[in-house]
Amino acid sequence: MFSEFLINTWIAGSVVAVVAGLVGFFVVLRGSSFLAHALPHGAFAGAAGATLLGLDPILGMGVFAVGGALTVSTLGRRGRNDVVTALALVVMLASGALFLSLGSQYSAEVFALLFGQILGVSSAELLPILALGAVCVVAVVVAYRPLLLASVLPEQAAARGISTFGLSVFFAVLVGLATTMSVPVVGALLMFSLLVGPPAAARLFSADPLRAIPLSIGFALVIVWASIAAAYLSSLPVGFFVTLGSAILYGAGRGWFAIAARRPAAA
Amino acid sequence: MSVFFASGLVQLALLVGTLVAAVAALVGVFTVLRRQSFAGHALADLGAVGGSAAFLLGIPQLVGFVGAGILAAGVMEVVGIKRVQGRDVATGIVFGLGLGLTALFLYLDTQHAGTSNAAISVLFGSLFAIDAGVVPLVAALSVVVCLIVVVFYRWFLLESLSQDLAAVRHIPVRLTGILFLVALALAVELSALTIGAVLSTALLIAPAAAALRLTRRVGFAILIAIGIGVGSTWLGILISFESYGWLGGAHSWPVSFCIVIVAFAAYLLSGIAVPVRARRSRVAHVL
C-alpha cells in the first residue's frame, strides 16, 4: 500500500486534504456550497479540453476553473447568484462533454476525471499540485482577517472599507485553484464533498475559527487517507469513499450533538 | 432539412424533447421564483444514483431516475431542507453522498454489467439514443406534472412569492412544498433522461430565468419559458444533427451540449431586454 507507485498519491492526497479543509471552512462559512460544487465541473471541462488540444490537463483545469470563478462572481453581482451559478455549471459540464466526444476518449478516462483515481498521479503532476496548494494556503493566511469579516458580517466589512465584491471574486478564484489541484486525485464531481463535509463537521465542534480550521484540516486528512487505503484494498473508486467518509463524519457529529443537547434539557 | 425531419431518430428526439422541455420550463419558473436552483440540481444529481443503478438491476433508466428522484425529494422534505437556497450544508452532504454512490454504481456497471458507456449515458444523456418504448411513460409523467401545477397553480404562486401571505390565506404551506418538490423531482428526472443527469438543470433553469427577466407576470413567464425551452431543444437537436464533421472530427456534436448552449444563449440574450424594461417601468430589477 505504501509502495513506490502510490507514494505520489499519498503526498498529493494529503496536500489536497489540507487545502480542502482550509478553503472549505470559508465555503461553509459563506454558504457557497453551490459555488464549490460548480467550479470543479469547470475543471473537468478544462481537463477534457486540454487533453483534446494535447496540452497539460492541469493548465486547462486552471484556466476553466478560474474563468468559471470570475464568470460566476461578476455575473452574479448583477443577476441572481444561484441562477448564474447553476447555468455556469451546466455550460461548463456540457463543454466538457463536447470536448470528450470530439477527442474520442475512452470512457474510463472520463470516469477518472469525474470520480477520481488513486493511480493517476505522476511525479510530473505532483509539482503543480504542491505549488497550487502552497498558493492557496498563503492566500488564505494573507487575506485571513478581511475574508473572515466579509464572510460573517458583510455590512461591517464594507463599512471598514473592505471591498466585499473584490473579496468574493478573490474567494471564487481561490476555490477554483483548490479545485484544479484536486481533480486528478478526487475527481471533479466529488471534490465538493471534501470541501463541505469536514468543515461542516468541524464547525459543529467549535465556532472559533482558529480551532475549527485545524479540526477541519484534520478531518479532511483522515477522510482522504482512509479513502486512499480503502480504494487500494477494495479497488472501488476513491471518490465513493471520500463522500461516504464526509457523510458519516457529519452525520455522526450531528447525532452526537443532538443527543448532547437533549440531555441537559431533560435534566 | 427534409433529411432532418425524415429521420425516425430525429422525430422521436423531437417528440420526447418537446414534452420534456415544456414540463421542465413550467416547473422551472416556480423553481426560479422560489430560489431553489440548488435543490433542483441536487435532485438531478441524486436521480443519477437511480439512473446508474438501473443498469445494474436491468430496469429501464427512466424508472431508476424517477424512483431515486422521488425518494430524494422525500428525504429532503423529511430533513426539512425544502427551502435550500444554495446555502444548506445538509443538502450538500446528502447530495455529495449521492454522487459518491453514483460513482460506485457506474464503476460496477463498467466492471460487471459490461455497459462501458453507462457513465456517459447517465451523466450526459442522449436524445438520439432513446428507446421508443419509453415514450408512453414520458408522456404520462409529463401529464402528471402538468396536472399538479395546473390544479395547485394558485397555491404554488402565492406560496412561492410569500410563505406568510400563503399561511394567512389558509393555504397548507407544507403540503404545497411537498407537492412542488414532487413536481420538481419528476420534471428534473424527465430532463435527466434527455440531456443527462448533470445537465438537466439547464432545461429547468435557463428558460425560466430568461422568461422571468422578460416579464413579471408569472402566467406570461410560463408561456415564454416553454417557448424558449422547446425552441432551444429543437435548435439544439438540429445543430447536433447538422454538426457531423464540424471541426474536423468524424463525430457529430453531443446533442445535450447543443441544447445547453442554445438555452444558455437565450438566457444571455434575455439580459439585453432587462435594461430596456427597467428604463420603461422604472422598477429596480431583481432578476
Is the model's pLDDT at B61 over the cut of 90?
no
Is the model's pLDDT at B282 over the cut of 50?
no
> Considering the domain boundaries, does residue A206 fall inside one?
no
Confidence of residue B144 (pLDDT cuts 50, 70, 90): very high
Is the model's pLDDT at B286 over the cut of 70?
no
A79 vs A142, residue with greater confidence: A142
> Considering the domain boundaries, does residue A204 fall inside one?
no
CA distance B53 to B247: 35
Residue A138 pLDDT:
92
Residue B48 pLDDT:
82
Is the model's pLDDT at B283 over the cut of 60?
no
The arithmetic mean of pLDDT across residues B7-29, rounded, is 87
Can you tell me the ipTM of this complex? 0.77
Residue A218 pLDDT:
94
> Considering the domain boundaries, does residue A117 fall inside one?
yes
Query: Measured between CB atoms, does A85 come within 8 Å of chain B?
Result: yes
Query: Measured between CB atoms, does A244 come within 8 Å of chain B?
Result: yes
Q: Domain containing A105 — which CATH number?
A: 1.10.3470.10
A69 vs A79, residue with greater confidence: A69
CA distance B58 to B46: 19
The arithmetic mean of pLDDT across residues B140-166, rounded, is 86
- Picking from B77, B97, B78, the residue whose alpha carbon sits closest to that of residue B36 is B77
* Sequence-distant (≥ 6) Cβ neighbours of residue A220 within 8 angstroms: A17, A18, A20, A21, A24, A194, A198
> Considering the domain boundaries, does residue A31 fall inside one?
yes
What sign for the dihedral angle of Cα A164, A165, A170, A176?
A: positive
The arithmetic mean of pLDDT across residues A222-249, rounded, is 87
Range B212-217, long-range pairs (CB < 8 A, 24+ positions): B212/B29, B212/B32, B212/B33, B212/B287, B213/B270, B213/B271, B213/B273, B213/B274, B213/B285, B213/B287, B214/B270, B214/B273, B214/B277, B216/B283
- Picking from B57, B180, B207, B193, the residue whose alpha carbon sits closest to that of residue B138 is B193
Count of all residues that appear for chain A in the document: 267
Which residues of chain A make contact with B32, given a CB cutoff of 8 A?
80, 83
Residue B280 pLDDT:
57
> Considering the domain boundaries, does residue A96 fall inside one?
yes
- Picking from B193, B152, B191, the residue whose alpha carbon sits closest to that of residue B173 is B152
Q: What is the pLDDT of residues A147-158, one digit of tens each?
A: 888 888 877 888
Is the model's pLDDT at B1 over the cut of 90?
no
Residue B224 pLDDT:
93
Residue B277 pLDDT:
59
CA distance B47 to B173: 25
Which residues of chain B make contact with A26, given a CB cutoff of 8 A?
none
Is the model's pLDDT at A85 over the cut of 70?
yes
Confidence of residue B207 (pLDDT cuts 50, 70, 90): very high
Within B65-152, strands assigned E span: none
CA distance A58 to B225: 38
The arithmetic mean of pLDDT across residues B82-105, rounded, is 68
Give B272 to chain A, closest Cα distance, Å: 12
Residue B147 pLDDT:
92
Query: Hunting for cell 477522510 — which residue is that?
Result: A223
- Residues of chain A numbered 119-138 and touching chain B (CB < 8 Å): none
The domains of chain B are located at 2-243+251-281
Range with the poorest average pLDDT among A163-167, A227-231, A243-247, B148-152: A163-167
C-alpha cell at A71: 464568470
The arithmetic mean of pLDDT across residues B105-133, rounded, is 71
Residue A209 pLDDT:
85
| Cα–Cα separations (whole angstroms), residue B41 to A174, B45, B85 | 23, 6, 11
Read off the amino acid at residue B225.
Answer: A
CA distance A158 to A156: 5
Give A160 to chain B, closest Cα distance, Å: 26
CA distance B229 to B22: 6
Give B169 to chain A, closest Cα distance, Å: 29
**Pick from A187, A236, A250: which is nearest to B93 by CB?**
A250
**Pick from A33, A236, A247: which is nearest to B104 by CB?**
A236
Residue B285 pLDDT:
44
Q: Does B104 contact A90 at a Cβ distance shorter than 8 Å?
A: no
Q: What is the pLDDT of residues B234-252, one digit of tens each?
A: 998 888 888 776 665 566 7
Residue A78 pLDDT:
62
The arithmetic mean of pLDDT across residues B46-63, rounded, is 81
Query: Measured between CB atoms, does A144 come within 8 Å of chain B?
Result: no
**DSSP readout, A60-111?**
HHHHHHHHHHHHHHHHHHHS-HHHHHHHHHHHHHHHHHHHHHHHT--HHHHH
The range of the structural domain enclosing residue A91 comes to 4-189
Residue B83 pLDDT:
47
Is the model's pLDDT at B82 over the cut of 50?
no
Q: Does B205 contact A87 at a Cβ distance shorter than 8 Å?
A: yes
B206 vs B74, residue with greater confidence: B206
Residue B143 pLDDT:
92
Q: Does A33 contact B87 at a Cβ distance shorter than 8 Å?
A: yes
Count of all residues that appear for chain B in the document: 287
Q: Does B86 contact A85 at a Cβ distance shorter than 8 Å?
A: yes
Is the model's pLDDT at B71 over the cut of 70?
yes
Query: Measured between CB atoms, does A226 come within 8 Å of chain B?
Result: no
- Picking from A13, A7, A9, the residue whose alpha carbon sits closest to that of residue A190 is A13
CA distance A228 to A108: 19
Read off the amino acid at residue A141.
Answer: V
CA distance A4 to A122: 11
The arithmetic mean of pLDDT across residues B82-87, rounded, is 44
Query: Hunting for cell 437537436 — which residue is that?
Result: B237
CA distance B12 to B30: 28
**Pick from B88, B247, B260: which is nearest to A90 by CB?**
B260
- Picking from A15, A33, A51, A47, the residue whose alpha carbon sits closest to that of residue A178 is A15
Phi, psi (rounded to 5 degrees) for A192: -50, -40
Q: Does A244 contact B261 at a Cβ distance shorter than 8 Å?
A: no
The arithmetic mean of pLDDT across residues B62-72, rounded, is 85
Q: What is the pLDDT of residues A104-138, one digit of tens each?
A: 655 566 667 777 776 667 777 788 888 889 999 99
CA distance A42 to B275: 30
Q: What is the CA radius of gyration of chain B?
A: 19
For A108, other C-beta atoms within 10 Å of its C-beta total 12
The arithmetic mean of pLDDT across residues A74-93, rounded, is 76
Residue B227 pLDDT:
94
- Residues of chain B numbered 30-59 and touching chain A (CB < 8 Å): 32, 35, 37-38, 40-41
The arithmetic mean of pLDDT across residues B8-30, rounded, is 88
C-alpha cell at A61: 483545469
Which residues of chain A make contact with B86, given a CB cutoff of 8 A?
31-34, 81-82, 85
> Considering the domain boundaries, does residue A152 fall inside one?
yes
**Pick from A79, A190, A200: which is nearest to B93 by CB?**
A200
Share the mean pLDDT of chain A. Answer: 81
Query: Measured between CB atoms, does A101 come within 8 Å of chain B?
Result: yes
The arithmetic mean of pLDDT across residues B219-228, rounded, is 92
Is the model's pLDDT at A217 over the cut of 90?
yes
Longest CA–CA span in chain B (Å) reads: 62
Is the model's pLDDT at A195 over the cut of 90?
no
b/e per residue, B204-231, with b = 16+ CB within 10 A? bbbbbbbbbbbbeebeebbbbbbbbbbe
Residue A94 pLDDT:
83
DSSP SS3 for B88: coil
Among B81-85, B150-154, B252-256, which range has the highest average pLDDT?
B150-154
* Sequence-distant (≥ 6) Cβ neighbours of residue B225 within 8 angstroms: B25, B26, B28, B29, B207, B208, B210, B211, B212
CA distance B117 to B114: 9
* Sequence-distant (≥ 6) Cβ neighbours of residue B170 within 8 angstroms: none
Decide yes or no: CATH 1.10.3470.10 for domain B2-243+251-281.
Answer: yes
Which residues of chain A make contact with B286, given a CB cutoff of 8 A?
80
What's the number of domains chain A is made of? 1
Q: What is the CA radius of gyration of chain A?
A: 19
Range with the poorest average pLDDT among A42-46, A59-63, B85-89: B85-89
CA distance B53 to B48: 8
Give A55 to chain B, closest Cα distance, Å: 18
The arithmetic mean of pLDDT across residues A72-86, rounded, is 73
Which residues of chain A make contact with B87, given a CB cutoff of 8 A?
31, 33
| Cα–Cα separations (whole angstroms), residue B30 to B181, B219, B222, B234 | 11, 11, 9, 23
> Considering the domain boundaries, does residue A246 fall inside one?
no
